[in-house]
């Protein structure tokens, strides 16, 4: 169980901790002026429409709504206007204003955690962030895919560049962190119908705990940084620390054997 959990986390860092090798939908040759234009327009609520306009304006391909800047629409997690009849809606969620609505098909997230890093604190205006990991195919936007806004925190750009933060462009509710392979949803948007449903999203640990605004003595593991790649600290249960020590030892032995 522990190693599965660690693998999930290694594969899916949070938005604040993604590597800087993220790919971009925008060719490197695109000029700074164009980028400014896109950013200006995208901060204006209608990402889909304005980026279409911008892409058309640049390559002279008038009427092309399938340009590079629009490709996000056809990929998970968005797949705009694609109707999957087999999608089983297990949960319903909406932003504060209700413009953005989505459904989830998976009963339980792949993992769920609290992050206390300062980026999460600032971007959420909250003492810490609660995020649940899903596959991009697990979500279906039923409303408001034209009301989405993006923010990529390393370049501070609002074009759709992964990994990025996704929010409602109207009420600004944070919706999820979109990674290259996974999404980290903010479960506070889900309209849970029962306590049992909410329990399915129970976080397994705290990350970046030294940055905390308040102590949370809930007996869950507390990582000093990214889960599985940092130290277990504070009131982490002894069994978790022991397991981590054993895993570290195992890893060291294996490396020794492999002659590293």
Residues that bind Zn ion (CB under 5 A): 16, 95, 97, 99, 115, 117, 120, 168, 170-171
Which of 56/188 has CB closer to Zn ion?
188
Per residue in 137-149, is it b (16+ CB within 10 Å) or e — as a string?
ebbbbeebbbbbb
Tokens of 31: 């000029």
Taking the complex as a whole, the smallest distance from the CB of residue 222 to Zn ion amounts, in Å, to 14
Which of 26/145 has CB closer to Zn ion?
145
Taking the complex as a whole, the smallest distance from the CB of residue 42 to Zn ion amounts, in Å, to 16
Which of 69/117 has CB closer to Zn ion?
117
Taking the complex as a whole, the smallest distance from the CB of residue 127 to Zn ion amounts, in Å, to 12
How many Cα atoms within 13 Å fall on the side-chain side of residue 200? Answer: 17
Taking the complex as a whole, the smallest distance from the CB of residue 177 to Zn ion amounts, in Å, to 9
CA distance 53 to 47: 10
Which of 35/126 has CB closer to Zn ion?
126
Report whether 8 contacts 133 (CB < 8 A).
Answer: yes
Taking the complex as a whole, the smallest distance from the CB of residue 56 to Zn ion amounts, in Å, to 27
Which of 37/142 has CB closer to Zn ion?
142
């Amino acid at each position: 169980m522990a190693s599965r959990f660690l693998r999930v986390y290694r594969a899916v860092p949070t938005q604040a901790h993604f590597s800087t090798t993220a790919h971009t939908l925008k060719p490197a040759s695109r000029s700074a002026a164009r980028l400014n234009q896109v950013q200006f327009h995208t901060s204006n609520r209608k990402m889909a429409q304005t980026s279409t306009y911008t892409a058309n304006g640049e390559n002279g391909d008038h009427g092309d709504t399938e340009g590079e800047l629009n490709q996000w629409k056809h990929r998970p997690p968005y797949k705009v206007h694609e109707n999957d009849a087999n999608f089983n809606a297990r949960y319903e969620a909406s932003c504060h204003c209700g413009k953005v609505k989505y459904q989830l098909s998976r009963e339980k997230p792949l993992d769920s955690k609290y992050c206390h890093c300062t980026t999460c604190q600032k971007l959420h205006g909250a003492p810490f962030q609660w995020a649940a990991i899903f596959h991009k195919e697990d979500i279906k936007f039923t409303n408001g895919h034209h009301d989405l806004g993006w923010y990529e925190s390393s370049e501070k750009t609002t074009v759709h560049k992964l990994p990025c933060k996704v929010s409602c462009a109207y009420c600004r509710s944070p919706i999820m962190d979109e990674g290259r392979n996974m999404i980290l949803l903010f479960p506070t948007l889900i309209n849970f119908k029962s306590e049992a449903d909410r329990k399915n999203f129970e976080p397994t640990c705290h990350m970046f705990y030294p940055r905390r605004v308040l102590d949370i003595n809930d007996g869950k593991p507390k990582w000093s940084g990214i889960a599985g790649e940092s130290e277990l600290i504070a009131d982490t249960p002894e069994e978790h620390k022991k397991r981590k020590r054993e895993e570290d030892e195992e890893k060291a032995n294996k490396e020794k054997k492999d002659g590293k």
